Amino acid sequence: MIAMFRPARMCRMDCIVEQDKKAELADILHRKGIAQIEYFGDKSIEKFALERDEPLDRAAIISNLILRLRKVIDVLSVFEPRTEKNILADMLGVDYTERVEIKEMSYEEIIKNAARILDDHENDIETLSKDIQSLDGRISSNEEKLRSYAIFDDIEEKIENLGESRYTYSMMGAFSVASLDKFKAKLKKALKGDFFIDESPRNNKVIVTLSTSRENREKLESLAREFNIERIKIDGEGKIKNIIAGMRADLEDIKREKKEKKDKLMRIYKDLYKDMLVAEELLKLELEKSEVFISCAKTKRTLVMRLWVPQKRVDEIEKIIKKITKNSCVIEKKTDLEEAPILLENSRIAKPFEGLTKMFALPRYNEIDPTFFIMPTFCLFFGLMLTDAIYGIVLMIAGLVTEKTMGKRSDNAKSAGFIMMGTGIAAVFFGVLTGSYLGDFVAKYLMGIIPNQLALWLDPMYGSNAMSVLLVACAMGFVHIMFGHFLGIYDKKRRGMLKDALFEHVPWYILVGGIAVAAMGKFGMLPEMALYGGAAAAIIGLLMLIKGLGFMAFIDLIGLVGNTLSYARLLAMGLTTAGIAMSFNFLAGMVYQIPYVGIVIAAIVFIFGHLINILINSLGAFVHSLRLQYVEHFGTYYSGGGREFKPFREMRIHTKIKGHDFGDIKAR
């Protein structure tokens, strides 16, 4: 029981092994995935006159192959089907990648396989990619030209008639019809009649063909620039419309060529893409094992490696090291060090709630793990804020579906499904107590009674019942806060911090107990002497608090009242859920009276209204329930600040080794 309230006990193992055994050691540690390889600090290296170790020589070869593979994978990835994003699945880290089952391969086989794929196809893929990029550029250029020449596509004029001849200069272009008269006026003034103009209207534009003597070329060009005339500058011979038609035919040929090359790439994608992803993953795993040694220290002939291992797995790791080195090793073990990384270790029922603890902060190594205590109160508060039996059933079903579907591919999704079921059960419980079944739908519209008559306890929406629920909510909050102080006493006592426990947590019980006894004495529930005894105890508790906290004791006293009242949000959220549900029931009842279509509209309003209510208020209940844990409850005893245990292990996405499960994890 006690072990459940603390992170897993860790052992630090400092190992000295021969250099020629380190590759084999890294390989087995990587596969086992139960030890964290700690970075050996520079100060420790200097202290023991060691050197920083280096990656294996093979790391350069592996990195080069990965870069080459990634380059061709990026080219082929454009053909990967784009599936619609599932926001929930994305948040929960659900991976739908189908894994390829492969046989176990040695380093040499992995390198040989990657090199074979690259040697056979790298050149073809890169050539096709460059060709497609070039063709894309030509297509873009030609399409741009054709867009600008579209207005000229029926012009019979020959292109060779434009430009400069022995005596004349001719041009063709298009501009706004509205500017034509002004242009002609300026043309007459500038060229003094030494010009020829042909006009061909096109909707709101006009195509003009202009000719003048060679001496007036610059004047004509200047006018063309002034009026932004869209000039036709096109290569070729013959009629302009034929040249443009030829450009369109060329564009189709280029597109056809591009399609042929893309089809070749597509065939390569279908045949090899998955193999390339597998080869890349295997290389990355090898690179991890090759580069891990930069975290270690060395001498000329030995490797010095520092490991963090859960104490229950220490013997297993020690046997592995001794077997690999044939007992030619030195292993020094130290347990329960304050700087140990944190691995949460909870019972099966509490484990899904570890994510809620991590969202705040991991506990320090010798600090209490609050996960077990979050579990019941989070569900309880959530249920009280949702407070509807049918909503709870919907939440339970959603949780079950999540666990049975996405939960098979993600531990996070499995935990989320479990939490949804837990909160759904709590919502059903409070819904039955308050008579809320889709708000007042079952009671009022199906049974013809008020929800308060259906409630096993009371309906907070009825009469002055809200005040009773408010008192219960605040009482729950007060107990929750005081339980935090109890955990603080337990935690500090266990850690040998008796003085802190005595002056930071115990006084609250003396103070509150003294006030309670004094109040009972005052109102005749206890003998009158209890009033004075309780008051004395309260004063003693206050003085102890001042000794332990100083001036902050008065701030914390005010904070206790404020934090207790903060639990009024449980009532507020519960009333909100019930009120919105009743509103949608009322609206559905109103539209139901509409002839013919009323029943359809009412069903839509009813179903979607309640779905929206479930979604919005479930989100609100989640956030506010967490807040009560993180602020009001954790504020009494928990600070966190631990660093996560990160084992050196295989992280496989695209592959799985036949008969091996230790590298096949579901959540990343």
pLDDT digits (tens, 9 = 90+) for 532-542: 899 999 999 99
CA gyration radius for the chain? 39
pLDDT > 50? residue 256: yes
In a domain, 133, yes or no: yes
Q: Indicate if 507 and 389 belong to the same structural domain.
A: yes
CB 21 within 8 A of CB 56: no
DSSP string, 90-104: HHTT---PPPEEE--
Q: Indicate if 509 and 564 belong to the same structural domain.
A: yes
Strands (E), 240-282: none
Q: d(Cα 347, Cα 357) in Å, to the nearest integer?
A: 14
pLDDT digits (tens, 9 = 90+) for 582-640: 999 999 999 999 998 999 999 999 999 999 999 999 999 999 999 999 999 999 999 99
Q: Indicate if 127 and 167 belong to the same structural domain.
A: no
DSSP string, 554-613: HHHHHHHHHHHHHTTHHHHHHHHHHHHHHHHHHHHHHHTTSTTTHHHHHHHHHHHHHHHH
pLDDT digits (tens, 9 = 90+) for 510-521: 999 999 999 999
pLDDT digits (tens, 9 = 90+) for 44-73: 899 889 999 999 999 999 999 999 999 999
Q: Indicate if 532 and 411 belong to the same structural domain.
A: yes
- pLDDT at site 662: 43
- pLDDT at site 482: 96
CA atoms within 13 A on the CB side of 529: 0
In a domain, 620, yes or no: yes
Q: Indicate if 444 and 537 belong to the same structural domain.
A: yes
Q: Give this prediction's pTM.
A: 0.83
CATH number at 179 reads 3.30.70.2750
Q: Indicate if 193 and 271 belong to the same structural domain.
A: no
DSSP state at residue 172: E
* Domain span holding position 172: 163-231
Q: What is the 3-state secondary structure (H, E, C) of 525-565?
A: CCCCHHHHHHHHHHHHHHHHHHHHHCCHHHHHHHHHHHHHH
Residue 479: Cβ-neighbour burial (10 angstroms; 0-12, 13-18, 19+): middle
Q: d(Cα 205, Cα 228) in Å, to the nearest integer?
A: 12
In a domain, 506, yes or no: yes
In a domain, 176, yes or no: yes
Which H helix or E strand runs over 656?
Answer: strand 655-657
Average of pLDDT values for 483-498?
Answer: 92
In a domain, 413, yes or no: yes
- pLDDT at site 2: 43
Sign of the Cα pseudo-torsion (373, 378, 384, 390, in order): negative
Sign of the Cα pseudo-torsion (163, 167, 168, 169, in order): positive
In a domain, 313, yes or no: no
In a domain, 612, yes or no: yes
pLDDT digits (tens, 9 = 90+) for 95-122: 788 888 899 899 999 999 999 999 999 9
- pLDDT at site 368: 93
CB 89 within 8 A of CB 668: no
Q: Indicate if 469 and 572 belong to the same structural domain.
A: yes
CB 546 within 8 A of CB 553: yes
- pLDDT at site 664: 39
Q: Indicate if 74 and 194 belong to the same structural domain.
A: no
